[in-house]
């Protein structure tokens, strides 16, 4: 089979890779219906994370079950499935406590930009739809496997409640999905921080009530000015840089909460400053599997449409162009169809 392989910064190739196959009785193999490029894939692509040896890429997927291991009974061949970027058995203590992305047997998916994908812990990781969804719903269901689930986590971790004021830091796919999540959680005011007009328009379409273009301390000052001088009830951090995390922490009011959904890179938090701020912080890899049944149904019912974050669709064999387009900010998120 063929799939995307990173050989170094800026060097993505679509080439022959090892066939996906059952290795353990808890595995399944799916035929990819759709996959995509994630903003976090750009970290190694830009050289911000070491590549090491050449290796496959991709952690977002929907597809059709081809084969299951002897211990997998939750899904069967032929079914359309959605899964999380982090596998989980859904039975360990961490899974039962609502954090399947911290499953004691967790594996992070990393081979999904390919024609077929091996899914470890398929019994707990995959959720099948009752029927094969219409193809126009596949992008939304694909978004649920990561960016929509991660945006949902940002709102959950920041404790967005009906009537609250929420600030979303980041206008990539996760940030835009976080706007959807804040709206669904009942936020009365949703302030999206964005400098890019196409993303601003999408944020407003998703439910943002205000746009702030300033960044850093200027952005914080603008948020304070808009919230009576104290800051927002909830801040959803969806980038992961030192600046974005500081901006999020400083934008929350005393007693407010920050949800850290962006994978942190060179981020340090001053403990004394945090202590005296009275700001609550929660983060980590999004527990997407916990949210999957609910989010899948919202997409199928037409209540949410996170698939709109995909503004470029390419054949899977043009995956390298998908990376380039996102790196050059010509696309928010690239959809890849085998």
Rounded-to-integer distance, Cα 47 and Cα 65, Å: 34
Sorted by sequence, the CB contacts under 8 Å of residue 136 that are 6+ apart come out as none
Task: Assign 35 to helix, strand or coil.
Answer: strand
Whole-number pLDDT of residue 220 = 98
Task: Assign 67 to helix, strand or coil.
Answer: strand
Whole-number pLDDT of residue 61 = 98
Whole-number pLDDT of residue 2 = 98
Domains plus CATH for the chain? 2-146+287-337 (3.90.180.10), 150-283 (3.40.50.720)
Whole-number pLDDT of residue 48 = 87
Rounded-to-integer distance, Cα 148 and Cα 155, Å: 11
CB 167 within 8 A of CB 234: yes
pLDDT tens digits along 54-88: 999 999 999 999 999 999 999 999 999 999 999 99
Structure tokens at 83: 């899964």
> What residues pair up with 273 in beta bridges, in sequence order?
none
Stretches where the chain sits below pLDDT 70 are none
Rounded-to-integer distance, Cα 284 and Cα 154, Å: 10
CB 194 within 8 A of CB 171: yes
Q: What spatial distance separates the first Cα and last Cα of the chain, rounded to whole Å?
A: 11
Q: Which of 196, 230, 224 minimizes the C-alpha distance to 211?
A: 196
Whole-number pLDDT of residue 265 = 87
Burial 221-260 (b: 16+ CB within 10 A, else e): ebbbebbeeebbbbbbbbbbbeebbbbbbbbbbeebbbbb
Structure tokens at 167: 């600030």
Q: How many CB atoms lie within 10 A of CB 48?
A: 12
Whole-number pLDDT of residue 209 = 98
Structure tokens at 20: 């996906």
Rounded-to-integer distance, Cα 251 and Cα 233, Å: 9
With the CA atoms of 43, 310, 141 and 176 taken in that order, what torsion angle do they form, in degrees rounded to the nearest 10?
Answer: 70
Helices 173-184 and 147-157 cross at an angle (nearest 10°) of 50
pLDDT tens digits along 322-334: 999 999 999 999 9
**Burial (CB count <10 Å: 0-12, 13-18, 19+), residue 100:** buried
Burial 278-316 (b: 16+ CB within 10 A, else e): ebbbebebbbbbbbbeebbebbbeeebbbbbbbbbebeb
């Amino acid at each position: 089979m063929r799939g995307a392989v990173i050989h170094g910064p800026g060097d993505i190739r679509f080439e022959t890779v090892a066939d996906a196959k059952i290795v353990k009785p808890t595995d399944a193999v799916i035929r990819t219906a759709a996959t995509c490029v994630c903003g976090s894939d750009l970290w190694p692509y830009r050289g911000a994370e070491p590549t090491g040896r050449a290796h496959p890429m991709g952690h977002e997927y929907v597809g059709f079950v081809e084969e299951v291991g002897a211990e997998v009974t939750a899904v069967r061949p032929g079914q359309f499935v959605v899964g999380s970027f982090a596998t989980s058995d859904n039975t360990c203590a961490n899974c039962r406590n609502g954090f399947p992305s911290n499953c004691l047997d967790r594996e992070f998916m990393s081979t999904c930009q390919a024609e077929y994908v091996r899914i470890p812990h398929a019994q707990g990781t995959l959720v099948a739809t009752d029927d094969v969804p219409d193809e126009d719903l596949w992008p939304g269901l694909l978004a649920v496997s990561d960016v929509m689930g991660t945006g949902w986590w940002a709102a959950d971790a920041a404790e967005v409640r009906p009537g609250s004021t929420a600030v979303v830091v980041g206008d990539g796919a996760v940030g835009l999905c976080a706007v959807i999540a804040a709206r669904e959680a009942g936020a009365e005011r949703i302030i999206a921080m964005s400098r890019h007009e196409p993303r601003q328009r999408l944020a407003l379409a998703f439910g943002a009530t205000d746009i702030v273009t300033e960044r850093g301390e200027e952005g914080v000052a603008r948020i304070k000015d808009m919230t009576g001088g104290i800051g927002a009830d909830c801040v959803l951090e969806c980038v992961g840089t030192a600046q974005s995390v500081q901006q999020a922490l400083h934008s929350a009011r005393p007693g407010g909460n920050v949800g850290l959904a962006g994978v942190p890179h060179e981020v340090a938090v001053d403990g004394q400053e945090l202590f005296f701020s009275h700001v609550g912080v929660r983060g980590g890899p999004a527990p997407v599997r916990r949210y999957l049944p609910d989010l899948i149904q919202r997409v199928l019912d037409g209540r949410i449409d996170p698939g709109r974050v995909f503004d470029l669709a390419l054949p899977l064999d043009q995956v390298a162009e998908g990376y380039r387009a996102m790196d050059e900010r010509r696309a928010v998120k690239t959809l890849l169809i085998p």
